[in-house]
Chains A and B, each alone.
Chain A
Amino acid sequence: MVLKTEHYVINVGPQHPSTHGVFRLRLTLDGEVIVDVEPIFGYLHRGMEKIAEGRNYTKNIPLTDRLDYLSSMINNQAYCMAVENLLNITVPERAQYIRVIMAELQRMASHLAGIGFFMNDIGAFSTPLLYMFREREKIVELFDMACGQRLNYNYMRFGGVSMDLPEEFLPALKKLLDGMPGFINEYDKLISTNEIVLVRAKGVGILPKELAVNASAAGPVLRGSGIKWDLRKNQPYSIYDRFEFDIPTGEIGDTYDRYAVRLEEIRQSVRILKQAIAQLPAGETMAKVSKLIRPPASETYTAVEGPKGELGFFVVADGSENPYRWHVRAPSLINLTALKEMLLGWKVADLMAIFGSIDIVMGEVDR
């Protein structure tokens, strides 16, 4: 007897915890196998780009905090750099170093959260996530010291940073960096060779090199597929050309490679931070910039390497105090372009592993 089967459609999300509350995947299934995928966003749409047109340049800095809220410092940095380009402001040396320190700490915090949630998504309930949050908490405390906030920092300003580092900051940072290699080895031991993780992640959800490039994937998703591309090296901004670090890449672009790239990037961030502390000069942390700025009619696209990939701000000025057009090139959104190809042919149980390995933040996907 031949069994007659029919395709059927199910929705994953928006309530599913792994879809972060506001993301829906409409799956067409043949038994357990995924044969079609349609991602649906648009539950959160806060209309940031529209709001930004009605506020002045400075008041838009807090909006950037709320995009990728696990990487607010880097969002601040990218937007401030864009406006500095419009105004031709030179940022003082000390402020540049402080920005790099904050950005690299933020990259570590974001990757820790990313790996932790990825583990949570594939069913490693609590333990790895809590280990990751143990170190993320220390980073968040450092941010709290620097600017009085644990999330949504709003720390960077056009021309520098809002205040200098407090006295207790550098000793606490050094202590964190001394402990970090040990912690990373601990994660490595806990996760990287874990038999269940290997079965769930190795060879699963492969994103081939050519497709990764063609689909504009960025960050660990692109590098996991073996493309050595990092804006900190390829388009050096701020003072990144002064530091030595490597760009880790994966081999085949599977779920495991994307995880491994993130873990290695935490190690590289520790390297950068150690060099930045050693070189940190004394001096001003803010250039002279007037309170209400009116950039001349011009436009800029300024991109940095965020934890999720290329984060770009496209700002058009018309000479008034508000931006005429304000656009964010959001890596979390664009990394979902190839989601369909990554999921086709895999089973429902693999969906969360593959989806979790892309590491998206809904604030940035659904702006």
Chain B
Amino acid sequence: MKDIAFIEIAALIRERFGDGVAAADDKRLIVEPPRLAEVAAFLRDDPNLNLDYLSSVTAIDHKTDFTLIYHLYSLTKNQRLTMRVPVVDRVSPAVPSVTPIWRGADLQEREIFDLFGIEFSGHPNLKRLFMWEGFPGFPLRKDWVNRGP
């Protein structure tokens, strides 16, 4: 499977959605959250990219902010793309959901919501996945303290 070049794809996204939406170097592609859902739809539907398969979504807690990481494949063109979305606000982190574009994000976004406390606006059923309703805090955050018995 070949990797899609980050710099070229960032240029494509900027051309389509304007400056400030995407940035890239040779190691990473960064897409800013406000227009994430539209960018995702473009990545899926553009005939040259056709990234129809969302392999994985996950988050990293950097102690002051978060990064979401999306691994995308094109099953027809046999190529892949890794996309990073920064989430700066630690108090009430929120990004647009990509579940309406890739159903595969459904459970994975719920998992991130459950364990990191990042909200996905537009998710059809955003509820905790593993922990029970009312569980205190978000265990995969670096500042979470186990207050067990």
Contact = CB atoms under 8 A, between A and B. Distances in A.
Interface of A: 41-42, 45, 47, 49-50, 211, 213-217, 227, 229, 234-235, 301, 303, 310, 312, 314, 316, 324-325, 327, 329, 333-334, 336-338, 366-367
Most chain A CB within 10 A, of B56, B132, B140, is at: B56
A50 B141 CA distance: 9
Contact of B60 (A316, A329, A333, A366): A316
Interface in B36-63: 52-56, 58, 60-61
Nearest to A39: B107
Interface stretch (B4-12, B13-21, B87-95, B98-106): B98-106
Nearest to B56: A329
A136 B57 CA distance: 34
Given A215-B103, A216-B104, 18 more contacts: A41-B129, A42-B129, A42-B131, A213-B52, A213-B53, A216-B55, A216-B102, A301-B56, A301-B69, A312-B56, A316-B60, A324-B60, A325-B60, A327-B56, A327-B58, A329-B56, A337-B107, A366-B130
Interface string B82-121: 1000000000000000000011111110010001000000
A314 B52 contact: no
B56 A314 contact: yes
Contacts of B52: 213-214
B123 interface: no
A21 to B, nearest CB: 16
Given A41-B129, A45-B131, A235-B1, A336 B58 contact: no
A50 B108 contact: no
Interface in B52-83: 52-56, 58, 60-61, 69, 71, 75, 78, 80, 82
13 contacts: A42-B129, A42-B132, A47-B139, A216-B54, A216-B102, A217-B104, A234-B78, A235-B1, A301-B82, A314-B58, A324-B60, A334-B107, A334-B108
A245 to B, nearest CB: 18
Contact of B104 (A47, A235, A337): A337
Given A49-B140, A333-B107, A312 B55 contact: yes
A115 B42 CA distance: 40
Nearest to A367: B130
Contacts of B1: 234-235
Contacts of A41: 129-130
Contacts of B108: 334
Contacts of B82: 301
Contacts of B104: 214-217, 334, 337
Contacts of B129: 41-42
Contacts of A366: 130
A367 B139 CA distance: 13
B103 A211 contact: yes
A235 B71 CA distance: 14
Contacts of A45: 130-131
A337 B106 contact: yes
Nearest to A45: B130
A140 B58 CA distance: 34
A317 B115 CA distance: 20
B12 to A, nearest CB: 22
